[in-house]
Structure formats: C-alpha cells, structure tokens
C-alpha cells in the first residue's frame, strides 16, 4: 500500500466523488437534521473530493426543505422514487434534483418510468440480479438510463454472490450502461463483518468497494468475466496496490486514463449510510 503522505493520481481517479451519502437509510437511519448537517460538513471537509450526492426519498423532501432552511441550491441530490412515480418525479424536479432512482423488475416498468422523466434528469433503475439481468440492462440502455445494483443490506440474503454481481457488471459493460451500487459497501476489501452494530448481530462476508470498482475498470478495459469474478471474491488487502499512475490487482494494471474512463462511463458511485467508515478504513490501509 502507499504512504499516507501522498495521494496518488491513480487513487484520486478511482475514488473521486465515489460515495453518495445515504445517512437517512438503514442501518444509520439518521434524522434529517443530522444527516443534512453531516453532508454539509463533508462538503467542506478534507475528504470532500470523495463525496458524491445526498440520497433522499421523495416523500421526505419537505423535511429537507425545513432542515436546510429552503437552501438546497447547489447541493447534488439524488431522489428515490416511490410508487407514485409522476408525483415523486415532479417533487424531485421542484427540489432541483437532476438524478433519481427507481426500482424496476420488468422491461415494461423501465420504459413506462423513462417516458415520464423530466428533461435533463438521469434515472438509475435498481433491478434484480439473481437471474440473468441482460434483458433489463438492455432496456435501461435503450431508454438512456443507468442501472443500479443492491450489494448488501441488513440481512445476509441482501448480499448477492460474486458471480451474480460479475454477470450484472458484464451486462452493463457489454451494453455500455453505466451503473451505481448501493448498500453493504462500507469496506474497501471484501471481508467478514457484522450486519449491524448490535453485539449479537450475525456476520456475513461483504463486498469491498475496491474490489467492485477495480473489477468494473478491468471489464471496461476488456478483461474476461472469470477473472473479474475472482477479483470480486478476493479477500486479501495485499492484492491491491497503488502507484503514481497505476492501480493494481495482483498482476493486472490499470492506468489513470482507464480508471477515469471506467468511473465516467461504467461504475459511477455507490450509496452508503456512512461516509466516515469507508474513509477511515482507507486511511487505515494507507490508501489516502
């Protein structure tokens, strides 16, 4: 790993604006005032370069206006759309959001929601990946949208297996559909952790965000899915190395341009209810 005293361009290329802050959601489940105050603090803090959007459900936008004193201009919001799609899309647009997230399990749902999107709004469609998601990913691409994958949660069954995740990512790479991930990615490298902070909580092997985003960059560069699957399964911190112009996984190397390309065109960000925890673990590893 690299020294704390230097932030390599390869690290910045891979991690810039990586984390969408979702402090309102489990397991953090913060109140609006605290979550918004945290986000504003992160925006002006030393790690602001890794901060992405503020994630909020459409139903809670009135709370946000109160907590922010009506001053949300200039904040990057992504709004989760509920069952009343038209009403929630209108509320998101009124709040100044240019990014929304919707759940969809059929091609029809994807196309119907896409037809209702206000001009200039980007939609991420969260889709199931336990089966072959290629048809859904194709439909997302045809509507100009982006995909979203759930990589964890507060129960063990919320964590997809590496093979399902690799297949989803391969579909996105093949169809040139960008995606984001959500939940379960608090840790840089795949490893065993408790599902919650409760002392009697069950533990599960959680995906690592270094695994995920380096895997996406390798796919974007044309690497085969079998190797990407092995990368997603890797639990060794020593497998991941950074140099001035390179990010490495074992013998595989990615230069800064490849990393920037992957982050712009394939793997956009991940949502996390904690901004501090991923940052702290990166610092422990000496990556930032």
Quick: pLDDT tens for 57-72.
999 999 999 999 877 7
pLDDT for residue 1: 40
Helix (H, G, I), strand (E, B), or coil: what is residue 78?
A: strand
Residue segments in the chain with a per-residue pLDDT below the cut of 50: 1-5
What letter would DSSP give residue 113? H
pLDDT for residue 223: 93
DSSP string, 218-250: HHHTT--HHHHHHHHH---GGGEEE-SSEEEET
Helix (H, G, I), strand (E, B), or coil: what is residue 81?
A: coil
Backbone φ/ψ region at 85: left (φ over 0), alpha (ψ -120 to 50), beta: alpha
Long-range contacts of 38-42 (CB under 8 A, 24+ apart): 38/275, 39/75, 42/275
- The answer as to CATH 1.10.620.20 being correct for domain 9-284 is no
pTM: 0.94
Q: Which residues are CB-neighbours of 119 under 8 A, at least 6 positions away?
A: none
What distance in Å separates the CA atoms of residue 99 and residue 234, rounded to the nearest whole number? 32
pLDDT for residue 5: 42
């Amino acid at each position: 790993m690299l020294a704390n005293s230097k932030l390599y361009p390869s690290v910045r290329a891979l991690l810039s604006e990586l984390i969408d802050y979702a402090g309102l959601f489990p397991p953090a489940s913060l109140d609006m005032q605290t979550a918004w105050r945290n986000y504003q603090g992160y925006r002006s803090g030393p790690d602001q370069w890794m901060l992405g959007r503020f994630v909020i459900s459409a139903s809670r936008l009135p709370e946000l206006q109160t907590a922010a004193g009506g001053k949300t201009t200039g904040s990057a919001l992504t709004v989760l759309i509920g069952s009343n799609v038209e009403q929630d899309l209108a509320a998101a647009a009124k709040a100044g959001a240019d990014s929304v997230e919707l759940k969809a399990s059929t091609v029809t749902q994807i196309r119907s929601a896409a037809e209702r999107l206000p001009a200039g709004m980007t939609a991420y469609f969260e889709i199931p990946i336990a089966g072959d998601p290629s048809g859904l990913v194709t439909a997302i691409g045809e509507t100009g949208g982006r995909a979203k994958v759930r990589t964890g949660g507060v129960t063990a069954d919320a964590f997809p297996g590496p093979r399902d995740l690799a297949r989803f990512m391969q579909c996105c790479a093949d169809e040139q559909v960008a995606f984001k991930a959500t939940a379960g990615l608090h840790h840089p490298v795949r490893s065993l952790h408790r599902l919650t902070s409760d002392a009697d909580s069950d533990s599960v092997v959680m995906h690592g965000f270094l695994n995920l985003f380096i895997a996406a960059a390798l796919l974007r560069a044309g690497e085969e899915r079998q190797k990407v699957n092995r990368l997603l399964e890797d639990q060794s911190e020593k497998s991941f190395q950074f140099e001035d112009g390179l990010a490495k996984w074992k013998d595989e190397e990615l230069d800064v341009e490849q990393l920037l390309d992957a982050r712009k065109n394939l793997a956009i960000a991940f949502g996390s209810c904690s901004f501090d925890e991923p940052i702290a673990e990166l610092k422990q590893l000496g990556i930032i």
